[in-house]
Structure 1
């Protein structure tokens, strides 16, 4: 035996080996002694092969642990897996629990002649992923056919904003440089790319609100703030059938299409052929962009009809509408025909630009004695605010200035008698010191908080009309007191 191998053994086991005394079989340390005996024999064979006594004997290695096996927390099970199966005593087998039996490689060594069992089914196991693959997906990258919204901001204001359909060739051109379409394909939304002149453009996929704001228009669109209020008035739910009189540019049609879902339907009427074509093209553009973006089709639930609603509704006698949205010059003219197909208790939301048109509408309902109740007339106003850190013109951080206190006359006399050194020490505060940006505590940077210089003005008035059933006339024959 090589002295180096004996020297690496534990002290008590080295003495036992040199004296020829080993623990008896079946004792508590028998399996450890057997393990070290195998290790000593490996070292002897390895040292003999190096001295020229023959080729080196292959050192048996422990089979690799399968990836799918659960690793036990029992120390006895871990030690038993490190020992050859033929050297494990019966005492260790008795101590092992049913869940801590020998691993599959050890069972194969004990019964090498037993053929492996046939696999059951076509069960496939997914490969073990690295830590880098366990992160959540970051979204779908841009590809040709996607709707892209490019925006460039300087300081706190948006200087450039454009929505376009991404193509495999071409470039985005602006006054602040150009970006090739090949540089956009494959990038994730929400990234900033440099133009040819070094400006940073933010690229993202437009939301439905942004799409209707920057899409091609014919007539003036219904603004998102007004469409949101109209949707709340009508209380549109999935599966509803909605009437829209006045397709316009198709903005409200898209919001209604998303609200009713694949089970509902929107009947959109437009008398002008050019407005009808623009509304259909905008709906198709959003539908194709959505399918490229999500891989799922947008519900084809809008029927664009290029006819007057008064001439077409007689053909829809069997259709009952859950809600109606009117965007017309004279809505009170179409109400007598629309009310026949409107369900009892349903809401008709009217989009009117002038307050004089609201008066004409209500007067027409009163004169025609239509069963419509005016529940509210609202004008939606929003205020856009600018809340951002304050910077100087040279790009440095603005210094916070402390408030100036106005002292009474008696305190001013006492203050003049103080020493100049004390005044200098008291007047110098932490707010007057210019600290580096990284050393400034949180909240020491002044912020701008004011409304933006330009605001969205008046857009329209919204009138909520509800269909009701008149009460029966009182005959006076019975007195119910």
Structure 2
């Protein structure tokens, strides 16, 4: 008779337990198989994941089906990199450069040839000619916007994130942006709407229009050189005043609008016919007097818009790090004084350290900075950074509503 093979880890583990400690349900499982009155699923069993052709989730692969390197893509000429140097938890140097074959990363703390960086992986440290270590890595979109070449003042990432939440932008949406600026908001909108969406970005000044297009193209090129999927080419930059843009907006309906201009109330009458009912218009304004002028313009023109929110986004960075002395060694937590005698284990260790001849074995003391204290023995400091950011902008959330007493063509039977 062939013995029954256990199909459950619980069944196998229960064999090691005394019978008086095993529940009746487990004993029933030991006695043999049971007939379960369960309806049989008419669907056939799915093949293993390696044999399914209609599986939505496929392992990423590089060229010719080779899986990508888990360590990431090494640096190549044409990549954007960030060099960073910190001293005592404070950033002393941070710069974004474009890698070339014969260039040099220059700073007050020495230089690093680009040839030494090409072929290396991100997250490594490189020593400059002056002996200072720089951390080299790729920039995030937030860092790119803060460090890119600017024309006008940029919309800061913290404000851009709040505006995206206001507009509730998703994949496939069609969004209008008035005031391209340096292209920071355009990049975030492009990523939010995805390849199936569309962004119309208007800028009245030709120099700002040129800077925005250049920054957008520079980020797209750097992104695609990482070996990732292509950045969507879904932004149409238009060098024109939004108040005179009726021909470009013809037959286009927008899911949301982002305004970054001096007088947004002037552009609202042109945008409203192309904005969906219930859609949000997020406005970026520098001072509170502009907010008052915006609301007064909506009231006096009787525009079908309601102001839902006026906010100011604040940001505070904190420093949390182990407390260290001037020599670099970690500070020792001071225990309260007590009159308890030393433990017996400590005395035994002292006795065992003495040999037969009374000589103690030689021990090398590690440097104070290399000593690893037990968990909970090192005190920490926690305080806000001294450079608290000031005011950047006011964010106004407007929503288009349907005026009372007016019916749409779909509701009008005539």
Count of residue pairs the alignment pairs up:
318
Shift of the alpha carbon at 1:399? 2.4
- Following TM superposition, by how much is the alpha carbon of 1:298 offset from its aligned partner in structure 2, in angstroms? 1.5
- What SS class does the counterpart of residue 283 from structure 2 fall into? strand
Unaligned residue ranges in structure 1 (runs of 5+): 1-132, 405-421, 474-481
Q: Which residue of the partner structure matches residue 216 of structure 1?
A: 149
Q: CA deviation at 1:402?
A: 4.4
Aligned residue among 256, 268, 290 for 1:335: 268
Is 1:228 the counterpart of 2:228? The answer is no
Report the Cα distance in structure 2 between the residues aligned to 1:249 and 1:285, rounded to whole angstroms.
12
Aligned to 2:296: 363
**Secondary structure at 2:129 match in 1:** coil
Match of 1:464 in 2: 397
The worse-fitting range, judged by mean Cα deviation, of 135-144 and 337-346 is 135-144
Q: How does 1:64-83 map to 2 (within 5 A)?
A: none
1:291 matched to 2:255? The reply is no
Aligned to 1:448: 381
Q: Which residue does the alignment assign to 1:399?
A: 332
Q: Distance in 2 between matches of 1:170 and 1:314?
A: 47
Instruction: Report the alpha carbon displacement of residue 439 of structure 1 after superposing the two structures with TM.
Output: 5.8
Q: Can you list the C-alpha shifts for 1:396-425, whole angstroms capped at 9, x where unaligned?
A: 222223469xxxxxxxxxxxxxxxxx9697
Listed as ranges, the matches of 1:127-166 within 5 Å are 137-166=70-99
Q: Which has the higher helix share?
A: 1
Unaligned runs of 5+ in 2: 1-65, 347-364, 407-414
Shift of 1:317: 2.2
Deviations 1:10-66 (A, max 9, x none): xxxxxxxxxxxxxxxxxxxxxxxxxxxxxxxxxxxxxxxxxxxxxxxxxxxxxxxxx
Q: 1:50-61 counterparts in 2 under 5 A?
A: none
Three-state SS of the structure 2 residue aligned to 1:173 is strand
CA RMSD of aligned residues (A): 2.3
Aligned equivalents of 1:233, 1:176: Cα separation in 2: 43
How much does 1:361 deviate? 0.6
Give 3-state SS (helix, strand or coil) of 2:226's partner. Answer: helix
* Alignment of 1:268 onto 2:201: yes
Quick one: higher RCO (CA 8 Å, sep 6+), 1 or 2? 2
2:137 aligned with 1:204 = yes
Matching residue within 111, 116, 120 for 1:178: 111
Secondary structure of the 2:245 match is helix
Q: Is 1:168 the equivalent of 2:101?
A: yes
Whether 1:240 aligns to 2:176 is no
- Report how far residue 135 of structure 1 moved: 11
Q: 1:250 to 1:135 in 2, by over 3 A?
A: closer
- Equivalent runs, 1:312-331 vs 2, <5 Å: 312-331=245-264
How far apart are the structure 2 equivalents of 1:296 and 1:221?
27
Supply the distance in 2 between the matched residues of 1:258 and 1:135 (Cα, whole angstroms).
23
> d(CA) in 2 for partners of 1:464 and 1:306?
26
Q: CA deviation at 1:315?
A: 3.8
Provide the secondary structure at the position in 1 that maps to 2:320.
strand
